[in-house]
Every structure is written in structure tokens, then in C-alpha cells.
Amino acid sequence: MSSAEKGLRATGLCREFAGRDGSVRKAVDGVDLVVRPGELVSVLGPNGAGKTTTVRMLTGLLLPTSGSITVGGYDMVRQRRRAALACGFSLGGDTGLYPRLTAQQNLSFFGMMYGLRGDRLERRAARLLEEVDLADRAKDAVGSFSRGMKQRLHLARALLHDPAVLILDEPSAGLDPQSAASMRALVARLTGEGRSILLTTHDMREAEELSDRIVLMMGGRIRTESTAADLRLAAADRLGHVVNVAFADGRVPAELEHCPGILGEERDGGTVTLRVTDGAASVEWILKTFPGRTTSVSVTPPTLEEVFLDLVAAS
């Protein structure tokens, strides 16, 4: 078995939904995905792109209309039990947990569904509660938990049976910045353990910080797939670079507007942010035109958010 087969693989994944009027809508249309062991892939895409539908198929909650899925080497349709055992998932959100049971009781119920029991289950649950920072609330009813706490408990639940593949639908949706950061830190710690992780998100920073690769979905198809850095670099040809320049005397010279390929500028005291078509050429021109007058010059490609908005607008 090759290592990709042990991770997560989807080939030609399609899912149609029948409308009430008998019409058929394609929510997912020919998606190919591979998440190798030890890799984290984020799926981005506008609302209705088909991310959740894809996740529901990958986790065995929804049958594909066509295409195949293997999880941990097992076919999700024909070997569902084994594939399910290799798969941990969280659909996140405020629901999906028993509000009247404690965090510990929730985990031991879900653990039993995966064949865990007895002392080992209790120990595993206790340790995961510690890891997601809920040990002190283990005996409290989940109904009293904040959204961030529930989201962390979801993650612990998905990890109970130590799955080879972990699939998370919007793990940080609805979290405040601090909770989102702690969720990111948790997920970051899960990478590099040989697990294949796939997550969907609307948070560009989360995607950029965590992912080995980013998949951008639109209209049920994969529009593009690459590392965050490559996506940004590739988009620089269309969107231009951002050049930040700081001037020693605290004054931005007027001649700067003659910088070749300039698309726009924004001044703030002695610093200026330029958007230019060719970053390297502009930097060269600035250094030659204002010798010794700059304290720092930096070039950055467009942000992931700009890339995302551009690609969505283009289609």
C-alpha cells in the first residue's frame, strides 16, 4: 500500500441533489483530493462551494453519486466499517454533543462507538480533555459550555480512537480571536504525527498558518490547489506586488509617483505602501532614484485573502 493510500484520497467525487421540482443540482462535481499521511490540507471556498458536501462524503455520512473515497486504505463505500474506524471527524458548531451529559460522559459514549471501553477509554478521554484544556470542566454538563469549549470537545471526540485521518469542517467557525488562536495551536500540534488532516475554513490566516496545501473550491469543483506561498506568488502577476518603503528623513518624496508600473500608493508619515506590477523592478528603481534615503524596502506578494477574492471574482 503506498503512503497516499493510507491517508485520504478522493477520485472523481460527484454529488447531485434532487430539487423538489425534479431538477438535479450538482453540489460537488468531479473533485480529486489526496491528503498524505502527515499532511494538512485546507479547503477554502465561498458559501455553497460544496465544502461541507465533500466533507460529508469523505466521512461516510453521504454517499457520492459517483467517484471513490479511500480512508486509511479502505474504501468508504464498500468497506465502510473499517474506513470509519480510520476516520475521525467533527462537523463542529454548537451542536453534535449531548448537552445533558458531562464532557467526560460525552467522550466515553462516543468512544464506545469506536470499540473503546473500560479503563483505557477513561484514560484516553481524560488525557484528551487535558490536551484540549477542558480537564477542569470534565464533570460539567456540556450544555453549560461556551462555543469554543464545545469546539475543543469536538476535536477531542474526533481523536478518541486515534484515527489515521482527521476531517474537520470549519473548526474555528464562530470563535473569538483568542479561542480561534488556541484552536489553531491545537490543530498545529496534531500535524507532524503522521495523521492526514483535512479541514475546511473561511479563515485565510488559519489556512495559511496550518496548511501544507490549500484547495480552493468553487461551484463544486476544485478551482486551484497549491501551497499558500505559491498561490500568492502566482497571483502576483495579476494582482501586483506590495512594496513597503520607509524614508530616513520621514518625508515621502513626490517623485515616487513616477515609479514604473505603479498601480496605487498609500502614505503614512515617512512610510509608503505601493502596489506595483513588478516588485523587483520597482525596488531597483527606488534604490537607484533615492540612493541612501530609504531605511527599509520590502516586497510582498498579494495576501491570500486578495488571491481568494480575485479568484472568486474572476469566475
Partner 1 sequence: MSGLTTDRTGLEQPRLPGASTLLRSLADQLRMHASSPMAVFSALAMPCVFAFVVHSSASDRNATSDLAVGSAGVGMLDSIIVLVVISLLGEKQWKTLYAALGSPGGLVPVVLGRLAGTAVQSLTALPGTLVILALLFGVDGGFDWARWLAGGVLLAFSTASVVGLLGFAVLRYPYSAGMTNGLTGLVMALSALIVPQSALPGPVQKLALVLPQSHVMAWVRGGGTAEVLWAAALTVVFSGLVVLAVRRLENMARRQALPLEA
Sites of contact with partner 1 (CB under 8 A)? 17-18, 59-63, 80-82, 84-85, 87, 89, 91, 93, 95-101, 105, 108-110, 112-117, 120-121, 123-124, 127-128, 130-131, 157, 159, 161-162, 186, 189-190, 193-195
Length of the chain (residues): 315
Residue the block writes with cell 501544507: 212
Residue the block writes with cell 462507538: 113
Q: Of these partners, partner 1, Mg ion, ligand ATP, none, which one is at the site of residue 110 (CB under 5 to 8 Å by kind)?
A: partner 1
Per CB under 5 A, the segment of 44-52, 80-88, 98-106, 248-256 that binds Mg ion is 44-52
Question: Tell me, what DSSP letter sits at residue 141?
Answer: B
Query: Contact between 92 and ligand ATP (CB under 6 A)?
Result: no
| Rounded distance between C-alpha atoms, residue 1 and residue 87, angstroms | 18
Residue from 8, 31, 52, 240 binding ligand ATP (CB under 6 A):
52
Q: Of these partners, Mg ion, ligand ATP, partner 1, none, which one is at the site of residue 161 (CB under 5 to 8 Å by kind)?
A: partner 1
- With respect to ligand ATP, which residue has the nearer C-beta, 220 or 302? 220
Query: Quick one: which of 267, 239, 241 has its CA closest to 252?
Result: 267
* Residue 27 Ramachandran class (φ > 0 left, ψ -120 to 50 alpha, else beta): alpha
| Rounded distance between C-alpha atoms, residue 245 and residue 267, angstroms | 10
Query: Contact between 218 and ligand ATP (CB under 6 A)?
Result: no
Query: Contact between 51 and ligand ATP (CB under 6 A)?
Result: yes
| Rounded distance between C-alpha atoms, residue 209 and residue 46, angstroms | 19
Report the run of H or E that residue 230 belongs to, with start and end. Answer: helix 228-239
| Rounded distance between C-alpha atoms, residue 292 and residue 287, angstroms | 8
How, if at all, do strands 196-200 and 40-44 pair?
A: parallel
Query: Contact between 94 and ligand ATP (CB under 6 A)?
Result: no
Least distance from C-beta 57 to Mg ion, angstroms? 13
Binding mask 52-91 for Mg ion (x = CB under 5 A): x---------------------------------------
Query: Quick one: which of 205, 207, 239, 211 has its CA closest to 311?
Result: 239
- With respect to ligand ATP, which residue has the nearer C-beta, 6 or 206? 206
Instruction: Work out the angle at residue 181's Cα, subtended by the Cα atoms of residues 177 and 183, and round it to the nearest 5 degrees.
Output: 115
Query: Contact between 64 and ligand ATP (CB under 6 A)?
Result: no
Grid cell, residue 254, equals 513626490
- With respect to Mg ion, which residue has the nearer C-beta, 167 or 242? 167
Query: Contact between 23 and ligand ATP (CB under 6 A)?
Result: no
Query: Contact between 42 and Mg ion (CB under 5 A)?
Result: no
- With respect to ligand ATP, which residue has the nearer C-beta, 76 or 245? 76
Residues forming the site for ligand ATP (CB under 6 A): 17, 27, 45, 47-53
